[in-house]
Copies of this chain bind each other. A is one copy, B any other.
Amino acid sequence: MKLDELYALLRRRGVLWPTAEIYGGAQGLYDYGPLGAALKRKLEGAWTTWFVGRSPDYYRIEPSEIVPEAVVRASGHLENFTDPEITCEHCHAVFRADTVLAKIRPDGIDGLAPAQIEEVVRTNHVRCPSCGSEALSVPQAFNLMFDVPFGVARTDRAYLLPETAQASYLAFARMWEVGRKALPLGIAVVGRVYRNEIAPRQVLFRLRSFTQAELQIFFDPASPPGRLGPSATERVPVLRVDRRERGEGSPELVTAGELVASGLPEFYVDHLLHTLRFLRDVLGYPAERIRFFEKSEKERAFYNRIQFDAEVHLESLGGYTEVGAVHYRGDYDLRRHSDGSGKDLSVSRGAGERLVPHVLELTFGVDRNVWALADLHLARDGDRTVWRLPPYLAPVATGVFPLIAKEHRAFAEQLTHDLLAGGIDAQYDEASSIGKRYARMDEAGTPYDLTVDGPTVGDGPEHGTVTLRSRDSKAQERVPAADVAGRIGPSLRPPRPPPP
């Protein structure tokens, strides 16, 4: 579906809507309704199971989203977390400079100072995209962080976290004590971060408040985590820098072993592959929609030694878009916070040697993937609209319908109660025809429906059985009500990672 059509559907179904909708909304802010909130929680759980569940030495924490200024000074965000902007002196519109100059500078404007950008604007006679005037100016860089007046004196400055990663770096020293005092050590955060984006857009794709799921793996580069083993023959869809420079945009399927042979570290390729499997096998994204986009030295942040963005091709956005990434950040982060805090963050590597751990960062945009799960799995199918979510991500696991409310309600309500008590998200529905109830559940992504009818409550051979209907195949079969939990339960738990 196109963006507008998909958004309208999600809004109507209460998956998401603009924050403060009755006040006309607020740019770059959305609320998740019941279906969206449940899907998001399950997605966060599936991510945690897949990434944090990979090692008993990986932990998930929940930090505060406000940090004192010293933290973002040390991390470099206070100085560098900026987007150059262009403002129109005539109509007062504000734009991201890279967007306005996209055609003139297809390689981007990274590293250009405001004065240099202004020169590009002047020499190319760039006009305001809004009013057409040439009265454009390039003010001083705009920091994307939200600062909050902290404390009663309002002199302590604090900031809303611009990325969850910083909270994991802050927690390293404490987690070293709490854990096994050994590397690798993983610290994950699933949490809100905040950016005062110049141009929020595309619903969940450029937000001012959004949720990241990030795992920081602290390790000794002499013994990094992740071996390929038999996976060396698995193919990864990559778009490397050399092919990009030749103007190609489609990924190439390269085996993990070949990627290592080309110079990428084995542990890095192992985590690319683990990310691929999450997108393809856990979230169910079609393999041909996924690519890993290598960032060149010029494009990536200077502390990132290697960076591939995980991208998916979405119809609603008309192309590939980033939904995650794998960053090899070296020892930059802990060094900065050692310097900033005065606390030595090096650890013993035995034999009297000490080391500042390196960081491999697996980052994942939760909201963007909620959107991707809608774009890729929600579709018209003849006269029905079906959201083919993997069962373990579906907000509702099964509908429970009495065929005739008056006669079958008691049994259906008891069955709903029993399923809920067993940890299965069942939802009772007695309103309108069975066909309409199926349609509502199909649109909500519910993988199963159970119907209670005459034979269920009668004395015949089908006593105590219900009709189990599958969303995807539309196949129906009678199963004993007592067997339902055992039948559908396993499909409702997210896949666990293979042993490393």
* Chain A residues at the B interface, C-beta cutoff of 8 Å: 12-14, 17, 19-23, 26-27, 29-34, 36-38, 40-41, 53, 56, 59-68, 70-71, 85, 92, 94, 142, 146-153, 158, 160, 167, 170-171, 173-175, 177-178, 180, 192, 194, 196, 198, 208-209, 337, 340-341, 343, 345, 417, 420-423, 427-428, 431, 493, 496, 499
Contact = CB atoms under 8 A, between A and B. Distances in A.
Contacts of A340: 23
A27 B92 CA distance: 39
25 contacts: A13-B178, A17-B171, A19-B67, A19-B68, A23-B170, A26-B158, A29-B66, A31-B61, A31-B64, A31-B167, A31-B170, A32-B63, A33-B171, A33-B174, A34-B59, A34-B175, A40-B62, A41-B62, A65-B192, A94-B153, A146-B150, A148-B160, A148-B194, A192-B192, A423-B493
Given A23-B340, A66-B194, A148-B160, 11 more contacts: A20-B70, A22-B173, A22-B337, A23-B71, A33-B59, A34-B178, A36-B61, A36-B62, A65-B192, A150-B196, A421-B496
A151 B27 CA distance: 8
A152 B199 CA distance: 9
Interface of A, secondary structure class, is mixed
A65 B417 contact: no
Contacts of A94: 152-153
A29 B171 CA distance: 14
Contacts of A13: 178
A31 B171 contact: yes
Contact of A198 (B142, B152, B428): B152
Contacts of A150: 26, 146, 196, 208
A33 B196 CA distance: 28
Contacts of A337: 22
A23 B69 CA distance: 10
B149 A196 contact: yes
A20 B209 contact: no
Contacts of A67: 19-20, 26
Contacts of A423: 423, 493
Contact of A34 (B29, B60, B85): B60
Most buried by B among A37, A64, A178: A64
A65 B19 CA distance: 9
Contacts of A158: 26
A20 B71 contact: yes
Given A60-B37, A170-B19, A420 B496 contact: yes
Contacts of A174: 14, 17, 21, 33
Contacts of A70: 20, 23
Contact of A19 (B41, B66, B198): B66
B68 A170 contact: no
Q: Closest 10 A-B residue pairs measured CB to CB? A: A14-B178, A37-B62, A31-B63, A34-B59, A32-B62, A22-B341, A19-B64, A94-B152, A29-B64, A22-B343
A393 B431 CA distance: 36
Contacts of A20: 67-68, 70-71, 170
A161 to B, nearest CB: 10
A34 B31 CA distance: 27
A53 B420 contact: yes
Contacts of A12: 177
B61 A32 contact: yes
A173 B21 contact: yes
Count chain B CB atoms within 10 A of each CB in A70, A151, A499 and give the residue with the most.
Answer: A151
A94 B345 CA distance: 35
A26 B148 CA distance: 13
A40 B341 CA distance: 29
Nearest to A25: B68
A496 B425 CA distance: 13
A421 B422 CA distance: 16
Given A66-B209, A178-B34, A493-B421, A23 B341 contact: yes
